[in-house]
Structure formats: structure tokens, C-alpha cells
Structure 1
Amino acid sequence: MTDQPRLPAVANRRAILDRRAIADRLAAAAPEEAGAILAAALAAGREEIGERLAAHPSNGRTAAAAYAFLADQVVRLAFDHAALRLHPTSNPAPAERIALVGVGGTGRGELAPYSDIDLMLLVGGHGGTTEKVAEALFYQLWDLKLKVGQSVRTVDEAIASAKSDMTIRTALLESRWLWGERPLFDAFEQRFAREIVKGHAAEFVAAKMAERDERHRKMGDSRYVVEPNVKDGKGGLRDLHTLYWIARFALGASSPRDMVAKGLLSEAEFARFDRAERFFWAVRCHLHRLAGRAEERLGFEYQPRIATAMRYADRPGKSAVERFMQFYFLQAKTVGDLTGVLLAQLDEQLGKKGRRFALPTFTRKPRHLNGFTIDRGRLSIPSDDFLAERPTRLIELFALAAREGLELHPKAMRAATAQARLADTIRDDPEANALFLSVLTDIKAPDTVLRWMNEAGVFGRFMPDFGRVVAQMQFDMYHHYTVDEHSIRAIGLLAAIERGEMAKDHPLSSALFRQLESRRTLYVAVLLHDIAKGRGGDHSELGEAIAYELCPRLGLDEGETETVAWLVRHHLLMSRIAFRRDLTDPKTIDDFVHVVQSPERLRLLVMLTVVDIRAVGPGTWNEWKRQLLKTLYEAAEERLRLGHVQHGRRERVAERQAALDEAMGWTRAAAKAHARRLPDSYWLAEQPALHHANALQVATAGARLGETRPSVEAAPDPDSGATRLSVFAPDRPGLFAAISAALARAGANIIDARIHTTRDGFALDNLLVLNGQGRAYAEGRQTARLAETIERVLADGQVPQPPPPLRVPQREEHFQIAPRVLVAENASNKTTVVEVNARDRQGLLARLARTLADRSVSLHSAHIATYGEKAVDVFYVTDAEGRKLGEAASAQLREALLEVARTH
């Protein structure tokens, strides 16, 4: 076993807890008063440490050591109370000897405010007073509301447990004697070193790295998720602890600083380790205190408050919380860097002793290594000064790894990280830029290699504009990753589409790739589409200017440069049109085509849009979005190819009507009557499967002119993952307002609404809804109840009041959503288009629809989109006579809707 770990110093300990003074109070008090005395001492100690943390908010490790000291004193006092007062033994037998041992974080001497206190009672034997003391101790700690991880073991049992369980082995690695029989602990410590540690370093390292990888997988396998887990997330405290455990087990490091003496880290590298550890401990301590519990997820509700507590301030283009989180992710990146460094050094040292832990082997000989070497299957360098001899090798290292499909040896990564500044000298070097472009456009795994470049700090130095978005988060609930990670993921998705691996999910994009004139144009556009975020202003416009500057440097010609700049400027255009506009309106397509102008741009834009959405995070892509983008692409492609916005429209309507006739088996007269009843926009907006379902519903309802009985059907909608509600009822003012209010009162959330009015005075509305948990309703009783609710409301003939707005959840209250209402008179030839931006809350759509109805505005189409905490609802409306709204009516409507958006 190694020496006992050196604990961090804690200043003015008695101000936290004066153990002797408390012990005297316990001795003078009745036994039943012990709990109150200890509780008061614990509360006072926590308050003192909290004040120290507030005064020095970045000194997290000192706070962690102080909390551990407080826990030590409370545990010792409780142990003495149990062993000396409740169950005293004047001359304990060997079997009754007890050593109180801290393990895990308690043994390391670092605890967050509400961390578990991990204890092992090391006993000479079971029975006698041993069990009574243990029970009294643990009950006393539980009464103090402390979370205690406890075990009672003999030395033989502790050693056996360490042999069979790697988690226990790791916890016991940091064992620390706290109180009681020291010789008993010394005996355990000697056996642990002899039987557990000696000769088992390679096994321990392999197990810890496998455990780390599995933990990362469970946490999302990225250190750039925007609500990271401070303790267990990738790049968090547990990863730092893993490095220390490995160093301690394999080489006997007695403290993190001892990793320098053991040759695992340089002084500069340890300084980075130390800064990251101090920062993460500060964040974790603040997080526990704010949550009032052992909270490890750095949620949105805590991020602004911790940023304030740690004295971050707003800067132009970046809020305080975004600056705080960027520093968080930079520290997480540091942890990844240091992991590679330490493993490389450890592998080298263990290798000298013939005990290298397993690295992958490489069976084929790569071609043209240009002086680089292969070290057991990984690309490496022959000497530390190899990169500096010719700085373009810094980029060539990654280009060669991409071309040959090789992993980088930790030695090479360490050198690249240490010499990343070489990239400053070769930014304008044509060879270096060509090598970088080969990495970016590599079809095999560009995202993996670009991520290595980013981890080493080479990416941001070679391309400083990209360096500005490294570790930059966007403080909202829509984006799941930092800007750099989002862009790299998008590039990886693009390569997967090009390889044909996503043809099932993205058949259109997969087919379009084969038609591109310049694939590298698309890869560069994906890289640059968000590069100007965080600068203030419109990042699309700023990014366009950056593209004009960077593309020639990368070797793109004038035409490619112009195309990339256009794509960056308009990378949000297609999603905004597809998700917020009526795609059956010819004016929508006309306006879109006017901006796109060429089939090649259209092909590039649809693929950029797809990977941009997919790379936002899990759950942001669905079949419904795919269908909307496909519809927009097909309409625009036809317009560009044939030159007339209306060409083919009538033919598509006729084709869909004929397909329905065949499926229904109707008579010619019945089919013609149904076709005449519905406008062309219905046939274009809805898919054939829904044409069939709607036709059955209309036929079953037996609707004729003048009937008043509404019909509502609910069914799953596989394309969107939601529940489809089809409402067929006599049309009347406020119909949609009544439907949306009824659904809001039932706790349903409308995510899309397609409103159709028949020529004989009926409404046929198809809605997509989710329940309060954001899921589709279960078929059967739930969907039947939902349909019955709407039928009952419509039969009543009134427009019910929407439910009162719920209080904004705590995790969302820090997001600032500026309410905005835009009225576009020229976005449609026949209707006025109104767009409302507001915080997404229950009943918002119902209140907006009620406002429209109160002003006698006829609703023809509604398009609902949500982006995390933000709702964007678009309505196509006319006045009661079916005309566009006038200037005065538009202004009044805008103010009324804006009031709803503000107060909702």
C-alpha cells in the first residue's frame, strides 16, 4: 500500500467545528441530547464553510477539504459517543477492536456539502459490542440526515471484497484511518498493498478505463452536453479522480502533485490538472448548496446562479452564464487532454517493466508515413522535436491518421497539444491548408479526427475563428451541445450520409450527394455555418463574411467560395420556411426559390439543413420534419426546373384524388363529390394515408349540408411520433380556438395544425398533439377520452376559456424570451401571415387562437414550432370576408397578440 494521502490544509479549523469543546458538551449532557448537540454543530460548520465559499467562490477544493474535515469531526464525535458512552467496554477483546476508516471521497479528504460519507468499520471480529457500536454510530449519523455509505468488515473480509469487486478495490485504495484502533488499520493497509496492489497494475488500469468508457456512454459520451454532470460526466471530476487512482495504484503516487515526481505529468500539465480540479470542486460545492441536496447535474436552473456566485460578468456577445459554461467546457477538454498524456507516460513506464496494458494492434502496414511511426497500431512520432522541425507536420499528423484510418498514439497527441502554437505559423501555408481540407472532407471519419484536432487545441489555433466557438454553449433548451461539438457532429453526419449509412433515414440527401458538383463546398459550409456565434449580431451574416475570408485560404475557387458564403448566410432559410410556412401556398415556394436561384444551391441547402438539425441533439429530428423538408425541396426543385410555380399542381391534386378513389372503391359520383368538396391545398398538404383516413371519417359521419354533429377521431401518427386528431365539424367563428382551448385544458400540446375549410361550410382540421410529458397518447381509453372532450366542447357551441398559465418551471425561468409579433402582408397572395414568438407554456396557442377569434379573424392555416423553451406560431389569416387584413386591423391584431405573448 502507498503512504497515507496528504490532505488539503484547512485554515482555522476550530471556527468550523471545535471537536474538543463539543466532546465536553456531549460528556456533560444526557445521552438523548447528543443528537441535538451534533446537529447544531453540523449546521454551524456548514454555515461557516458556506460563508468562506461565498467570500472565495473559486476556491472549491479548499471548501471540499473543509466539508471533509467537518464530516471527520462529526463522525469521530458520534463514534466516541457510541463506543464510550452508549456501549462502553473497559478492556475490549481482540474481536471487539474497531477502526473507523474513511473510504472513497471521505478517505481522500474531499467532500461536497451533501456528498455521501463513505465509512468502513474495520473490526477484529463480529459479535459482542461491535455490532451495537456500529448500529448506534450509523443510526446517529442517519438521524443527522447524513447519507452514509457504510460497511462492517474484518481485515480478511475487506481484502476478499477488494479482490472480487473493482469498485470496492478503488474505494479501499483511498482508505484513511479516522479514529479507533490504528494497529488494525495498519494491518489491513499492509495486506492491501501486498495482496491487492502488487503485480496488478495493468489489470486495474484496464478496468478503470473500461469503467470510465461505460460511464461516459451512459452520460451521452460527450463532454460538451449543455447540462453536464459535474461528477460523472465526461471530463468531470470522476475522470480526474480516475487519473489519480491509476497513478496511485500503478506507481504509488500519494497525492495528485506526486504525479509530477512519478514522471506522469510535467509541472505545466499538473498546473492544468490542478486548475481544472479546483474549478470543478467549486462548481460542485456551489451546486450542492443551491440545490440543498447532492445534485450533480449542472442544470439550466443552476447555471446562471453559479455564474453569478463565481463572479462572471456579461461581455459583448456573451452573457455571464455563457462565459461561465465556456470555461467549464474548456476545463472538461483539459481533462481529456491530460488523460491521454498520463496514459502515454504510464504505458511507457509500465512497458519498461514488461507490464504494458493492452493497446490495439495494427496488422497492415500503411503506406507513405513520411517519417511518422507506428507504435503498436497507433500513429506516433519518432521524437519530441519531430513536429517543430517542420510545422506542417502538425496538420499532416491528423491528415495521415484520417487517410490511413489510424488512431493517434498518446505520445503524438501529447506532442500536438504541447506544440499547438506551431499552427499559428502555418495558417497561410497552402500545404497545411490542403492537408486540413483532406481531413475535413475525408469520407471515413472526419468527425473523429477533427475532434482529436480540437482536443489537442490545434483546430482552434489553425483556424482562430473556429477557436472562438470552442466550448461555447448557447444558453437555451434547444441546443444540446457546444457550438464546436455541434459543428463536428454535423460533419460526421454528412460523411455518414455520403457513405450511404443513413439512406433509410435520409433517402433524399443520400440520393442528392451523387449529384453534387463540389462535395468539398458542402463540407466547408457545414464547418462554417455557426462559426460566428457569440459575436453579437446575426451570426449568419457575420459567418458569410468569415466564409469569404477563409475559403480562399483553404484552396476553394471563386465560385465555391461564393456558394459556401451563400450557404452560411442562408443556412436557416429552409428550416424556417418548411416549419413555419404553408407549403401549399404558391407564394411560399416562389419566395423561397427567389432566394435559392439554382438547383445546386437547393441540393446543398437541403443537406446542410438536415445535418444541422440532426446535430442539435437527440430527439430534434423526426419523420414529420423530414416530410416537410422533402415537400419543400420537391416543390422548389420543380419550380427551378420547369420555371413556373403552378406547373404540375393540378396534376398532383388529380393523382392523389385518383389514388383515394381507388382505395375507397367509391362510385364516380361519390368520388367527384368528395373531390369537389375540398380545396386543392388539402390534397397537397396531407399525405395519401391521411386522405384515406379523413375520407372514412367523413363518410362515417354521414355529413350533409346543415348537419351540426361534430366528429373527432384520434389515431397514432408514426411519422411525427405524436397523436393525430382529425376534427370534422360545421365551420364557425372561433372553432379552432375552441378546439385548442379544450386540448389545453386536457393537458395536451398541439405541435402542428392543418386547417381546411370545405366548400360546403365544414371544417376538416388535422392536428398533431402530445401529452404533458411530450409523448403520444396511449391508444384506447386515453385517445377516446381526448376525442370525447373535443366533441363535447364543439357540441356546446361556446369557446371555453383557456386554462390559466402555469408558473414557469424553475429550470426555465432564467431563459429570456423576447416576445415578438411579425405581420407579413406579402408572404402570401391571399392571406395575411402572422408570426408570434413567445415563451412556450401550456395554453399559449389557445390564447392566441382566442385572440384571433375575438377579433373576427378567420384562420386558414396554423404552423406550430418549438425550439426548447421558445414557441414560434404562424397563422395564415383573413378578415371575415376572406380578404387580407388592412393596415389598421393588422396593427390592432399585432398589439393584441403581443399582449398575450408578453403576459402568457
Structure 2
Amino acid sequence: MFQGVRPHHVLPCPPPDHRQHRNDTADMSEAQSKPQSTGSPPVHPGAGQPPTATATGTGTGKSVNPIPALRKRLKEGRQVIRARHDTGASGPEVCRMMTDLVDSIVLDIYRAAVQQVRPQAWQDAPWCLVAHGGYGRRDLAPFSDVDLMLLYDPAEEADSQALAKLLHQWINDTGLHVGFAMRTDAQSWKLAWTDASVITSLAESRLLIGSIQLYLRYFRGLRLGAQRRAKRLIAMIEAARLEERRKYGETIFLLEPNIKRSRGGLRDVQLVRWLGFVRHGETDLRPLIENETIPEEDARALERGYHYLLRIRNQMHFESQRAQDQLDRAMQMRLAEWAGWRGAEGILPVEQFMQEYFEHTSEIRYASAHMLDNVKWQSPLASSLQRSVGMPVQRDFRVGFRYVWATRTGLERLKRDPAAVIELMAVSSRYGKPIDPVTWREIRMAMRNRKITQIDQLTIERFLDLMSQSTNLAEQLRRLHELRVLEQIIPPMQHARCLLQFNQYHKYTVDAHSIRAIECVTELEQDRTGLLGSIYRSLRDKTILHLALLLHDLGKGYPEDHSEVGARIAAEMADRLKLNAQDKETLVFLVHKHLLMVHTAFRFDLSDDDTAVRFAATVGSSERLQLLLLLTYADLASVGPGVVNEWKIDLLLQLYYQTDAHFRDERPGEGFHEDILHRRDAIRQHRPRECDAEWWDQQVDALPIGYLIRTPAALAATELARLRDLETKHCLTWGRFLEQQKALEFVIATRQTGRPIGTFHRMTGVLSSMGMQIIAAEIHTQPDDIAWDRFLVQDTEYEGSPPPGRIDAVCQAMEQALAGDAPAPCFRDFWKSRTSRLTDKIQVQPTQVRFDNSTSDKHTIITLFAYDRMGLLYSVSKVLFEMELILHSAKISTHLDQVVDVFYVTDMTGQKITESTRLYMIRQRLLQAVNSD
């Protein structure tokens, strides 16, 4: 039943018939797979020569090189195995076939190599060849590395080194990727006790061929030594696995997981085997079930997940024709089609596939975590003391030195009552001890089978009390979600479970993102310096904010806009939780309008007072504004690492200050407008003596509000003073590296003469052609017709701060382009291939172009929604230039693979574009520019 975790397990000890083999040698693989070559190859002199075989049937005794034949065997064998895979062979079955194929090749090479090193007595050689790691485990994927160790007697070191050299060279020559080590048993043990990667790989040892006596001595020493050092080795293995998870994805819901190394992947199935070996000397699940190290339900979950992941991994290897374990977006789409998913209303096939994937990795993660927790504290004394010395807490719960658990009566109550589970969670949190695995498992199994019904008043009260807290809230919600209790209280969480958002912007599934958003906002409790932390701590009741964050994206996965669906969900949950009318209205508003602030701040001209007036009219009150600001920040911060930066925070705060000023009109002169006046006065005080006072005041008065908010007065004055140089120069450029954003800022200023168009598109062309990914841009016109453009970019050729010469080169190229000396930009083939990957394989939403002639009194607003590619902004801005549109303002927002570009334009006479035919032509030209390579 449990052979799925170690199919056809080959025990470390050889079978009885091999124990009687002459001269204590054995070929343990021949019991499963006979090599194609039936005779021993002849020996040829020369230690560095490949193995050879005598050509039969010629009578000449001429020798031939068998490496090409072995390489052909590998290639043809993979083709046969691929055919079996394509007809539905299970993951473990394919891996066993692949292992048998590799065994046959390795054994032929071993025999030839041993005959060459010791031709007279090769059967008595004091060596053995040991497979370990995945190869030893017999779950070898089609293009995985082959891990081998030559175990040798120290007295035979010279011949052993010669043999190891031949084996390593010849196996690599066949096209296999081999990881090879030559060790004595003592060396193996010494490394195993100090290196987690060694003990975990050697725990999967399998004898291929050679001295049984040598192998038995080695493996017995490894097994007994590991058990004697179990506590230290378990800690070492746990630390190594934790570090690996940090590197490849701590959460199981990372949207481009590594199928092997991310949390809940194959590595966690293997972790159970390694822990069983270190604690009990066993890697198979059946003995671990029998000694109660792992429950049978967890073992079944591991088996199901193991079969599922191995089959997917085999497909990834076959399709890529190489070792491929990263489940990137393009691979996900191909696998979804391969697996037969067809999609449903509101859900893409790839989202269905990944939802299934995450359900399996979730189960693996739970089972492996419980196993780890069990073996860390497993001892006869600990097991007997744990429940005998527990302190009674409340009616049905006990607190021991390690766990919190429920009595038999309490367990029955927990299995039917969500309120009791919340009560137990509170006890666990208060005493800082986890719920014991037995209690956890019983609750989870009961909730999986429990029908969702109405909740009683006690459950409502306890849940709302939990949602009002800040300390450890997100972690408690995660645990309730893992236990399937959260969906008993908030049923839409069931639909959102493991639901992928198929874009490069979101890094987590809907349910994980929602809980992470709550974590981000509660972390503001510790922010003692910023406005966001101050606002959060000032809230008397945080319940509605936390609820809104939990619900804000639960409308995803339906055909209708998720904000509209979310508003209805919020109303239903407010009734389910019996919120009062005011709280219900606030909750529905926050969920329905959770994108309003980010759209307004990132897409509209905040220097236009009408923008804040319209936003204030929608929000309605200062209290709601504060809640919306916190929700917007938490939503952005929980999307993934690096999404929130200083640039975006400044825009949100600028909109907040301007809107808040409208709500405080009863106190004129205070607040936002007064702060802006102070900032302008501070810049005035930095006026250089050589600058004319009247000119300086005009320039300071014209500085955009966003620039004033984020730029220190001294820096603003320095940049402003540079504009005087435009009296003698046609343009000015400068750049700097922004450490906090890990990005470069480039600025260009020029005096516009003649037609006021063309500067922006030339600059975007230069930056893109030099490998700069434009993530934000601002354009502004100062008095005296000075165009002042600012670009925030990421340099794809350097990580961190680039060399000074790099910034100088970009600035020089920008000046040449503006002077008309530079050729049209060209974008490298590298970026064209990247474009193809992102647009052809990942694009799931069509490009959109929208026109707005009602928001602004002076400008037509063009909004472009598209998938990013190198040179996209240049292509778009070139269309605006060719259509003779004056660009007055631009908001460029890049979210990993998606861009939202907003342009405020007029025609050459300064009028809006209202004629329908002209608007149609602009749209068609923009769509053509975006969709072409």
C-alpha cells in the first residue's frame, strides 16, 4: 500500500541468494534489470581509455568502443520510457524504469572499469558501488543527476582512485550527469555526522555491485551511528530544510514553486524518510506507521502527493529534455493542457491545475510538519509524561510542557463546534504552545467532512473578538484555515483555497494573499515613526479593517468583476456575523472599493485638485479614508516582495493628504496645504546667490506636489538650480542610484522650442535600448517652456548599484538622442525572446485602450493596460508623437509583467481629442504597437 513512497524498495541488506555469492561480491540490481550486455568486455591497456568490447562475428578480435552503444541505449531507453509515460504510467513506475535503465549502463561500465584496473582478479576487488540520493531511492526522474559513491578499503587507495577516475569519466561520456564520490566507510560516517546533505543522501543508499561485506559494514555503521546522534542530526536536517525553503519558497502557495524544493514539494516527502532513518533506522512508511511515528492518514496523504508530483516532474523533464524542476508560468500552462483541464467560468485551466497542485502540496506540508514535530520530541519518557502532567485549562483542555491538547470529551466538542476550536486556539496562543498532532488531526478530519451551516452566537462573538486583535492574528487565521475551520465561519474561503491568480503581479494564492494582507497591516503596530503606523494604532476598533482584508479578494474566480462579487460577499458575511448597519456599510465599501485609492494615485494627475475632490466625494469621510489607506497599503505589500516602494507610498500619501484636507475645510490653513507651503518656503531658502529671485520663485511655485512631498528641500534646490544652465545648453541630464528602491532615477531637462512633442518618446527609446526596464515615469513642464522628465528604472545588466560609468553612458546617450544625433533605438534579441515568453505563453488578458474626456477639464486621458515587454513604452510614446498629441502628463505603473500607463494629452492646438474617428485611429495604432514585437 505504501510502496508509492519507496517503490519496490531495495533493502540496504542484500537478498539471501546474493549473500551466498562467491567471493562476497554481488550485483543487487540484476534481480530487477538485466543489463543488455551479456558478456564481460575485454580489457585494453591504458587507464584513461574508455571501456571496449570485442566485435563478434569477424574472427579478427578487433575491439570497439562501447560508449556510443551505451549512449544510444540511454537515448532509446528514454524514448521507450517516454512512451510508457505518455500512455499513463504512474510517476513511480516511470522512475523505476529510468532507474533500471541507468543501472544497466552503470553496471556495464563498472565491470569494464574494474577489469581494466585489476584484470586478473576483478571479481575479488575490495570495492562496492553504492547508489544514493534519488537514484538510491529508485525515484530517478528522466534527466536527474545520478549520485554514486565508490566505497573502498583504505588499503586499496591507489587502485580505487584509478577506478573512480574511469567510472566518473565513462559514465559522464554516456550523457548521464553524475555526482561521484570516493570514500571509505569511516569518511562517509564522519561527513554524515556534520553535513545534512550527506546524511540525507546516504540514508537512501542502495548497493549496486561489489563487496557485500564492505557494504554491510558501512551501512550498519551509518544506521546505528545516525540513531545514536538522532537529536543532533534531526536539528541539522531541519535547519538545512528550512534554509532550502527560504531560498525556493517558504510558503506552499508561492506561484512559481520548485516542485522538488519548495515547501510541500518532493523534498518534504523525502524529509519524512530521512527523519525515519535517523530516529528509527527506517525509511519506509510501513514500519513508521507500526511504531506510531506517523499516522496512517498522513502516510496515505504522502503517498498520494508523491505519486502526483512524480508524474508531473517526469512530464516536466520529458518536455524540457533536461532536469527541470521550476514550475514557471509557461510550464504551468503547458501542464494544464497536458493534464486535460478545460477551465470554467471565471477560472482558467491553468488556475484549475495549480489549485489541484497546491491541494496536494498542502497535504504533504501538513504530514511532514507533524512527522518532524513528532520525532523531535519522541522518547518513551516524553510520551508518558506529556499527557500525565498536563495542567487543566478551562473545561476540556490541558497544557503540557510541549503541547496543548483536548480531553476525550473536549475532542468530541472540537469536532463539531468551531467556537470550541477558536477557544483552543486562544489557549494555544496564550501559553505559547502548539496544538498536539492528534488533536490537530482529529479537528481537521472532522471539519473536512462537516457540512457548512449557520453559526451560533458564541462562534460569532469569539471570531469577532479574534479579528479585533493585532497580536499573532494572521498566524491564528492561517491555523484556522489549515484546520478547515475558517471556511466554516467564512464559507467563501473554501472557494478561495489554493486559488491561483495567474499573473506575474501576485505571488500567492488568493487565500494566502488575503491572510498575508492582514499580517502586513498588523505589523504596522510596531511602526513608531511613519504615518501608517500612527493611523493603525489610533484605530479604536480594528475588526472591520481586518475583516475587509480577509474578504477583499474572495470575489476572484468568478466571471464577474471580483470587486462586484466581493461587495456581495461582504454584505452576506456582514449578515452572517450579525454586524450592525454602519459596520456592514463600511465593510461593503472597503471591499467594493479596495482598488479605488491605488487606481486614483497611480493613474491620475494628483496636481489637479479635481482628482482629490472626486476621490473625496466617493470616500465620504476622514475615517473611511484612513481605513482605505491602510487597506490599500496592506493589499499592495502582500502581493509579493518588492511591490511596495517609496515611489508608490509617496503617491498614496499625497492623495491621502490632499483628500484629508477636503474633509478638514473647517480649519483652513492647516493640514496638507500648509505643509506644501512650508515645503516650498524651505526650497526658497536654499536659493543660490547667482539665481534671480523672481525666476527662482516662479520655478518653486510650479514644482509638482508629488515632487515636493518626496524630495528633501536641499536636493530639490540643487536640481532646480541646474535648470539655469539651459540658457547655454540644449539639455541637461543626470542620474542616481536609489538604494531603498534598488532602482536608478534618470532626469532630463530641456527647453522646448518649436513643436512641444517628441522628448518623451526619444528618452524611453534610449533607456529601453540600453537595457533599462522603466517602472515609473513622470513628465512635467516648468515655466520658460522647460520640459522636466523623470524616469525610475531597473538596470537589467547590474544587480545593485551600477558602476559610475554606466550612469554617465546613459546620460550621454539621452543627450545625443535629444540632439538628434542618435540612431533609432534597437532592442536586443535577448529581450525579444523574453517578450515572446511573457506575451505568447503567459498573456491571458487582452490589451485595453480607454479614453476619458470627462475627468479632466483640459485633457483627454488615455489609459493603456498591457503586458510588459522591453521597448513597450517607447512604442506607445512613439505613436503619440506620430499622431501629433501633446503629452502634458504621464503616469507609468509597472507591476512585474503588467503595465498601466496613463497619458494626459491634447492636440496641437491644446484641445481635447473628441472626434470619434480620430479616437478610433489612436486606439488602433496603440493596439498595433503593443501587440507587435
Same fold (TM over 0.5): yes
1:730 equivalent to 2:751? Answer yes
- Residue 299 of structure 1 is matched in structure 2 by 328
Give how far 1:783 is off: 1.4
Give 1:883's match in structure 2, choosing from 900, 905, 911.
911
1:375 equivalent to 2:372? Answer no
Q: How does 1:840-879 map to 2 (within 5 A)?
A: 840-879=868-907
For the residues of structure 2 that align with 1:72 and 1:410, how far apart are their CA atoms?
41
Give how far 1:371 is off: 2.0
For the residues of structure 2 that align with 1:212 and 1:832, how far apart are their CA atoms?
55
Against the structure 1 CA distance between its residues 253 and 420, is the aligned structure 2 distance closer, same or farther, given a 3 Å change threshold? farther
For the residues of structure 2 that align with 1:656 and 1:343, how far apart are their CA atoms?
57
Deviations 1:421-446 (A, max 9, x none): 47646641221222223333332111
For the residues of structure 1 that align with 2:162 and 2:729, how far apart are their CA atoms?
78
Which residue identity is paired with 2:747? S
- Residue 596 of structure 1 is matched in structure 2 by 619
Give 3-state SS (helix, strand or coil) of 2:330's partner: coil
State whether residues 660 and 688 of structure 1, in contact with CA within 8 Å, keep that contact through their aligned partners in structure 2. no
- Residue 114 of structure 2 is matched in structure 1 by 83
Which residue identity is paired with 1:714? G
1:170 equivalent to 2:170? Answer no
For the residues of structure 1 that align with 2:823 and 2:768, how far apart are their CA atoms?
12
Give 1:480's match in structure 2, choosing from 507, 524, 531.
507
Against the structure 1 CA distance between its residues 469 and 355, is the aligned structure 2 distance closer, same or farther, given a 3 Å change threshold? same
Which residue identity is paired with 1:807? S
Against the structure 1 CA distance between its residues 191 and 204, is the aligned structure 2 distance closer, same or farther, given a 3 Å change threshold? same
For the residues of structure 2 that align with 1:582 and 1:366, how far apart are their CA atoms?
62
- Residue 658 of structure 1 is matched in structure 2 by 681
Give 3-state SS (helix, strand or coil) of 1:642's partner: coil
More displaced 10-residue stretch of structure 1: 820-829 or 883-892: 883-892
For the residues of structure 1 that align with 2:391 and 2:140, how far apart are their CA atoms?
49
1:441 equivalent to 2:471? Answer no
- Residue 693 of structure 2 is matched in structure 1 by 671
State whether residues 392 and 432 of structure 1, in contact with CA within 8 Å, keep that contact through their aligned partners in structure 2. yes
Give 3-state SS (helix, strand or coil) of 2:791's partner: strand
- Residue 789 of structure 1 is matched in structure 2 by 813
Give 3-state SS (helix, strand or coil) of 1:749's partner: strand
Give 2:414's match in structure 1, choosing from 376, 387, 390.
387
- Residue 96 of structure 2 is matched in structure 1 by 65
Which residue identity is paired with 2:792? L
Give 1:277's match in structure 2, choosing from 306, 319, 322.
306
Give 3-state SS (helix, strand or coil) of 1:659's partner: helix
Give 1:132's match in structure 2, choosing from 158, 162, 176.
162
Q: How does 1:10-21 map to 2 (within 5 A)?
A: 19-21=35-37
State whether residues 583 and 685 of structure 1, in contact with CA within 8 Å, keep that contact through their aligned partners in structure 2. no
Give 3-state SS (helix, strand or coil) of 2:661's partner: helix
- Residue 146 of structure 2 is matched in structure 1 by 117
Give 3-state SS (helix, strand or coil) of 2:778's partner: strand
For the residues of structure 2 that align with 1:622 and 1:774, how far apart are their CA atoms?
19
- Residue 175 of structure 2 is matched in structure 1 by 145
More displaced 10-residue stretch of structure 1: 822-831 or 508-517: 508-517
For the residues of structure 1 that align with 2:744 and 2:190, how far apart are their CA atoms?
55
Which residue identity is paired with 2:517? A
Give how far 1:520 is off: 0.5
Which residue identity is paired with 1:879? D
For the residues of structure 2 that align with 1:649 and 1:600, how far apart are their CA atoms?
17
For the residues of structure 1 that align with 2:140 and 2:384, how far apart are their CA atoms?
32
1:769 equivalent to 2:786? Answer no
Give 3-state SS (helix, strand or coil) of 1:110's partner: coil
State whether residues 516 and 600 of structure 1, in contact with CA within 8 Å, keep that contact through their aligned partners in structure 2. no
Give 2:87's match in structure 1, choosing from 47, 55, 78.
55
For the residues of structure 1 that align with 2:294 and 2:920, how far apart are their CA atoms?
66
State whether residues 9 and 62 of structure 1, in contact with CA within 8 Å, keep that contact through their aligned partners in structure 2. no
Against the structure 1 CA distance between its residues 734 and 92, is the aligned structure 2 distance closer, same or farther, given a 3 Å change threshold? closer
- Residue 74 of structure 1 is matched in structure 2 by 105
Give 3-state SS (helix, strand or coil) of 2:863's partner: strand
Which residue identity is paired with 1:672? E
State whether residues 477 and 868 of structure 1, in contact with CA within 8 Å, keep that contact through their aligned partners in structure 2. yes
Against the structure 1 CA distance between its residues 831 and 445, is the aligned structure 2 distance closer, same or farther, given a 3 Å change threshold? same
- Residue 184 of structure 1 is matched in structure 2 by 214
Give 3-state SS (helix, strand or coil) of 1:882's partner: coil
1:818 equivalent to 2:877? Answer no
Give how far 1:479 is off: 0.9
TM-score (norm 1): 0.90
Against the structure 1 CA distance between its residues 703 and 114, is the aligned structure 2 distance closer, same or farther, given a 3 Å change threshold? same
For the residues of structure 2 that align with 1:191 and 1:405, how far apart are their CA atoms?
39
Give how far 1:77 is off: 1.3
For the residues of structure 2 that align with 1:156 and 1:324, how far apart are their CA atoms?
47
1:215 equivalent to 2:231? Answer no
- Residue 330 of structure 1 is matched in structure 2 by 359
Against the structure 1 CA distance between its residues 93 and 721, is the aligned structure 2 distance closer, same or farther, given a 3 Å change threshold? closer
For the residues of structure 1 that align with 2:710 and 2:80, how far apart are their CA atoms?
69
Which residue identity is paired with 2:589? W
Which residue identity is paired with 1:412? T
Q: How does 1:430-829 map to 2 (within 5 A)?
A: 430-497=457-524, 499=525, 501-504=526-529, 507-516=530-539, 518-642=541-665, 654-666=677-689, 670-677=692-699, 680=702, 682=704, 685-687=707-709, 689=711, 693=715, 695-697=717-719, 699-700=721-722, 702=724, 709-717=730-738, 720-731=741-752, 732-773=756-797, 778=802, 780-796=804-820, 800=824, 803=827, 806-809=832-835, 811-812=837-838, 813-816=840-843, 817-829=845-857
Deviations 1:221-256 (A, max 9, x none): 211111111112111111111112222332344523
Which residue identity is paired with 1:571? H
For the residues of structure 1 that align with 2:188 and 2:676, how far apart are their CA atoms?
77
Give 3-state SS (helix, strand or coil) of 2:241's partner: helix
State whether residues 202 and 355 of structure 1, in contact with CA within 8 Å, keep that contact through their aligned partners in structure 2. no
- Residue 75 of structure 2 is matched in structure 1 by 43
Give how far 1:802 is off: 6.3
Give 3-state SS (helix, strand or coil) of 2:851's partner: strand
Q: Give the gaps of 5 or more residues in structure 2.
A: 11-28, 42-51, 56-61
Against the structure 1 CA distance between its residues 802 and 871, is the aligned structure 2 distance closer, same or farther, given a 3 Å change threshold? farther
State whether residues 54 and 64 of structure 2, in contact with CA within 8 Å, keep that contact through their aligned partners in structure 1. no
Against the structure 1 CA distance between its residues 602 and 434, is the aligned structure 2 distance closer, same or farther, given a 3 Å change threshold? same
Against the structure 1 CA distance between its residues 581 and 358, is the aligned structure 2 distance closer, same or farther, given a 3 Å change threshold? farther
Against the structure 1 CA distance between its residues 459 and 72, is the aligned structure 2 distance closer, same or farther, given a 3 Å change threshold? farther
Give 3-state SS (helix, strand or coil) of 1:728's partner: strand
State whether residues 193 and 233 of structure 2, in contact with CA within 8 Å, keep that contact through their aligned partners in structure 1. no
For the residues of structure 1 that align with 2:231 and 2:615, how far apart are their CA atoms?
61
For the residues of structure 2 that align with 1:414 and 1:772, how far apart are their CA atoms?
48
Against the structure 1 CA distance between its residues 401 and 442, is the aligned structure 2 distance closer, same or farther, given a 3 Å change threshold? farther
For the residues of structure 2 that align with 1:225 and 1:254, how far apart are their CA atoms?
29
- Name the count of aligned residue pairs: 883
Give how far 1:203 is off: 3.6
For the residues of structure 1 that align with 2:751 and 2:315, how far apart are their CA atoms?
59
State whether residues 271 and 368 of structure 2, in contact with CA within 8 Å, keep that contact through their aligned partners in structure 1. no
Give how far 1:313 is off: 2.5
For the residues of structure 2 that align with 1:833 and 1:646, how far apart are their CA atoms?
32
Give 3-state SS (helix, strand or coil) of 2:129's partner: strand
Which residue identity is paired with 2:662? R
For the residues of structure 2 that align with 1:473 and 1:6, how far apart are their CA atoms?
31
State whether residues 857 and 879 of structure 1, in contact with CA within 8 Å, keep that contact through their aligned partners in structure 2. yes
Against the structure 1 CA distance between its residues 809 and 288, is the aligned structure 2 distance closer, same or farther, given a 3 Å change threshold? farther
